[in-house]
Structure 1
Amino acid sequence: MTTCQLKMTRQDFNRVMSHLFPGDDDEHAAVLLAGVSLIEGRLTLLVRETYVAREGIDYVHGKTGYRALAPTFIHRCITRARDERLVYLAIHNHLSDEYVGFSSVDLASHERGYPALLQIARGMPVGALVFGKRSIEADIWLPDRTRLSLEQAIVVGSTIHRLTPSPTLITVSRTETYDRQVRMFGKAGQIELRKCRVGIIGLGGIGSLVAEYLARLGVGHFCLIDDDWVEHTNLSRIIGASAEDAIARVYKVEVCKRMILQANVEADVQTLTEDVSRETVAKRLLACDFIFLAADSMRARLVFNAIVHQYFIPGVQLGSKIRCGSNGSLLEVMSANRSVRPGKGCLWCNQFIDPTGLAKEAKTDEERKAQQYGVEEPNPSVISLNAISASHAVNDFLLDYLCLRPESEALQYEHIHCLRDVRTLVTPRKDADCPECSREGRRFGRGDSADLPCAEG
């Protein structure tokens, strides 16, 4: 391991950039405290807290360099990092643009000071970041004094913005398969899709459509999770499913894998035929860049929501709803896409995770009958309604993941009411003391130091 990854919310990134680059062409500094995630051998730092250094008080004239953080400011931040089990990151800016790196003076100061900071940190990494106007570099010291540079920084807002120490060289083979869409977002966009890892929870009527759309866009890596198999009642909705699949009780994820590879033979597809609420299954999603939740269980919503806020992996919860009256008349026909980002769009804050529903799902069918819960009848489902939700969600993913539209300050849910022919954008609520998404809660940016709400195994 020679490089690492940094993730931060758009709110924190904007605060840092406005402090570092106020327009005075000078150098400024701050400290970030970050959670840690180590997934598949890659270290990711998740910025949880920001502390700007006040000019002349916390950031003063240096003895060997231009400026330096004041010892009292460093001590306050490193002890906070130690006590909260977070990574201490000292940051400053250079007046560069797309290329940035540490000066020899910067690196010498790290070598003088970071061995002592590692002792105070008690087993946590410490390090530094240097910001250009459109670039970031890192010098991260692990407890054994191994040093890591930055692979990329990811800013997670409504859009997903990536920064590197220097521009990435674009090399792509000529192909006619994606020619028409490359004309929209360029070769660089197609490369990002090819590198992208998506997780899809639930491969039924909506999830299978999402999988096909993403496969034909050229997304390169899939993690498919569904513990159910194809039945005859699914054939009107699951893309690629056949009567033979229903007879053989083929798992839905295997049907979708077959369909994905028909659309994109180079795709890497992992399938999991277990419930996402199992810890070993949920942790497979932590290597993903984006997650689509197309399952309607409360347990799936709980795990998905936790991963977004704890590991800063953006996602969307999508579904459709058909409600009928007692006489069979249609009362409501709706598709929904609910984007969730770290600290925003929380399903818990917006009461889309029902504690009673979680308790019911934890019981067997026999236990539910004994306690007079009953076993619910399946909900109505129609492929064309599912397609509305799936296509809107994938289109939003494309525009946001490739930064093809401007960043939006307000994250909004999208509800499409088909009977009334109305599309509404709803601003989700946010509880200041939410245990799932607030900075004061147990989960936001904590990475591996907090447990996911999963069953063992």
Structure 2
Amino acid sequence: MSASLHIPEEMMSELHSHLFPGDHDEHGAVIAASVMETSRGTRLLAHRLFLAVDGVDYVPGQYGYRMLTADFVMDCVLECAELKMAYLAAHCHGGSTSVGFSQTDMQSHERGYPALRDIVNGPPVGGLVFASDAVAGDIWFPDGHRSDLDVMVVAGYPRRILRPEPELAPAGAGEQFDRQARLFGDRGQEILKNLKVGVIGAGGAGSIIIENLVRLGVGELVVVDPDRIEPSNLPRVVGSKRGDTLPQLTHRRLGRVGKFFERFRATKVRIAKRHAREAGRTRMDALPISIMEPRAAEALVDCDHLFLAADTMQARLVFNALVHQYLIPGAQMGVKVQIDKESGAVVDMFAANRPVIPGKGCLFCNGLIDAGRLREEATDPEELRRQRYVDDDDVPAPSVITMNSVCASLATNGFLMSVTGLLDPVDFGWTKHDPRTGEFFEEEPRADESCQECSEEGRRGRGPTRRLPTFYRG
């Protein structure tokens, strides 16, 4: 079974600066990581970083060149035990793209890790050794078996992968993907093939996202949307057909009978799966349920990227938690058209793409999750109508496929550049496009250090040690 370590970009930057300050010496640290077991292997999620102070916590070794002091190790191990997280000791060697443990390192693991595993009492313990652009790991599991670390994923923008040594060149991408592989190479196409991507919402923007991902050759998709297709969706939902709406059975002239048969219209996820099957070879898990159902959220926890194409506050809440709790980069997108109620004139119009990256600000920090609307969405519909003075939700918002295409293309293009290594490693921003002027506007997301969602004190890297904000079953 494979093992991977996922770490927020800012934590990785802090760790790298500590291990490689430019003195060409050896330095040490410890990472506390939550542990998630999935069908894809063991995923370790970096939650907290402990930097060993040279000469105090990291001193000349009894057997090797340097070692962590017993007091520092014990403090970190007890903290990991309290958090119910794995203990991962890290140090550095020279070199750049290849690295491995010395014989002295392995002997040290064999002397110390069985006892540390007993203290942590459940999660694994292990060691990491870094070169400037490589990492190797030796992970000791509670059942007694050991595993190498296959990869370290830096969950940033761009997404980066570190391995013990350079990966072998993959086989050719094949005729189907020849033209796009000329852009990001056979290795980029292989990366896409091995990714699992989640899409929340399969409507106007979500169906275009799915179309893009399938045609790019992404290997696996999880699509979540509880809704069924309606006639007004047909101009915007990719792959939908008039027959999906059951027009002969649901015509308004049929009254209650037509209303009854509306429940048999095709679900949006069924349409997405059918279209994906016709357009490519992507495997799809299509879930026609609310993202607030634990089963839906749990299907997304081991994804490599998330797209939020649903605009309810509940969907934003769960997406935001998944990104930071499970260290999964994502993007929230949508279209807003504001109409003056009196004149009918367009007041505001934009398509938005907001990359949401672990530790770099979240939807809560930026005022995009409204507690009042969350309460409304959790309220019984009849009670909600009684509470409202003006029922604006009964007036459908304007929506057109062209604006959905803009935000969907911005989001999938950002994802593509990030995972294939073509994205410049610069500060990212959130983008708004005004189709009336053709202008693009950049916004810098805010990050609140005390945020209970995206900070270390909040959900960041806590994985299954904290419950997601879904409808609890149990």
Could you say what secondary structure the match of 2:336 adopts? Answer: strand
Give the Cα–Cα distance (whole angstroms) in 2 for the partners of residues 63 and 175 of structure 1. Answer: 54
Paired residue secondary structure (2:465)? coil
Residues 335 and 403 in structure 2, CA contact (< 8 A), matched pair in contact too: yes
Distance across 2 between alignment mates of 1:316 and 1:214: 14
Instruction: Give 2:408's aligned residue.
Output: 390
1:322–1:52 CA distance, 2 compared to 1 (3 A): same
1:81/1:222 CA distance change after superposition, 3 Å: same
Once the two structures are superposed, the pairs formed by residues 160-175 of structure 1 within 5 Å of their partners are 160-173=159-172, 175=174
Match of 2:363 among 347, 358, 363: 347
Question: What corresponds to 1:244 in structure 2?
Answer: 243
Shift of 1:123: 2.1
Q: For 2:407 and 2:142, how far apart are their aligned partners in 1?
A: 47
Which whole-Å CA distance do the structure 1 matches of 2:189 and 2:157 have between them? 20
Question: What is the deviation of 1:189?
Answer: 0.2
The equivalent residue for 2:215 is 216
1:246-288 CA distance string (max 9 Å, x none): 1161111111112222221x21111000001111111100121
Distance in 1 between residues matched to 2:95 and 2:445, nearest whole Å:
38
Q: Which residue of 2 aligns with 1:115?
A: 114
Write the letter of the residue equivalent to 2:272: C
Displacement of 1:119 = 2.1
Aligned residue pair count? 453
Instruction: State the identity as a percent.
Output: 41
Q: In structure 2, list runs of 5 or more residues that go unmatched.
A: 247-263
RMSD over aligned CA atoms reads 1.5
Task: Give the match for residue 310 of structure 1.
Answer: 325
1:285 aligns to what SS in structure 2? Answer: coil
Structure 2: which amino acid aligns with 1:324? I
Name the aligned partner's letter for residue 405 of structure 2.
A
- Letter of the 2:302 partner, please give it: A
Tell me what 1:430 maps to: 447
Equivalent AA in structure 1 for residue 328 of structure 2: I
Distance 2:40 2:419 in 1: 24
For the structure 1 residues 116 and 163, does the alpha-carbon distance in structure 2 shift closer, same or farther, using more than 3 Å as the test? same
Give the SS at the match of 2:301. helix
Aligned-pair distance for 1:365? 2.0
Alignment of 1:280-291 (within 5 A): 280-291=295-306
Matches within 5 A, 1:191-206: 191-206=190-205
> Which residue pairs with 1:403 in the alignment?
421
Mapped partners of 1:174, 1:206: distance in 2: 28
Match in the other structure for 1:412: 429
DSSP 3-state at the match of 1:425: strand
1:301 to 313, 316, 319: 316
The correspondence of residues 125-140 of structure 1 with structure 2, limited to 5 A, is: 125-140=124-139
What SS does structure 2 have at the residue aligned with 1:118? helix
Choose 105-114 or 140-149, whichever is displaced more.
Answer: 140-149
Q: CA deviation at 1:173?
A: 4.5
Contact 2:35 2:123 in 1 (8 A): no
| Aligned residue type for 1:177 | Q
TM-score (norm 1): 0.96
Task: Spell out structure 1 runs of 4+ moving beyond 6 A.
Answer: none
CA displacement at 1:138 relative to structure 2: 0.9
- Post-superposition shift, 1:23? 2.5
TM score, norm. by length of structure 2: 0.93
Matched, 1:440 2:439: no
Q: Which has the higher mean CA deviation after the structures are superposed, 383-392 or 172-181?
A: 172-181
Kindly state the Cα deviation for residue 174 of structure 1 after the two structures are TM-superposed: 5.3
In 1, distance between residues paired with 2:407 and 2:388?
34
Contact preservation (8 Å) 1:81, 1:121: yes
The residue type equivalent to 2:346 in the other structure is L
Contact 1:38 1:448 in 2 (8 A): no
Corresponding residue number in structure 1 for 2:344: 328
Amino acid in the other structure paired with 1:37: M
Give 2:199's aligned amino acid.
Answer: I
SS of 2:53's partner is coil
Matches of 1:29 and 1:251, distance apart in 2: 53
Secondary structure of the residue that 2:300 maps to in structure 1?
Answer: helix
Matched, 1:319 2:337: no
For 1:418 and 1:371, locate their aligned partners in 2 and report how far apart those are by CA, in whole Å: 36
* Distance of 1:311 and 1:126 partners within structure 2: 19
Amino acid across the alignment from 1:401: V
Q: Deviations over 1:106-134 (max 9, x none)?
A: 11111111111122212222111011222
C-alpha deviation, 1:26, in angstroms: 2.2
Question: Structure 2 counterpart of 1:365, which letter?
Answer: P
SS of equivalent to 1:245: helix
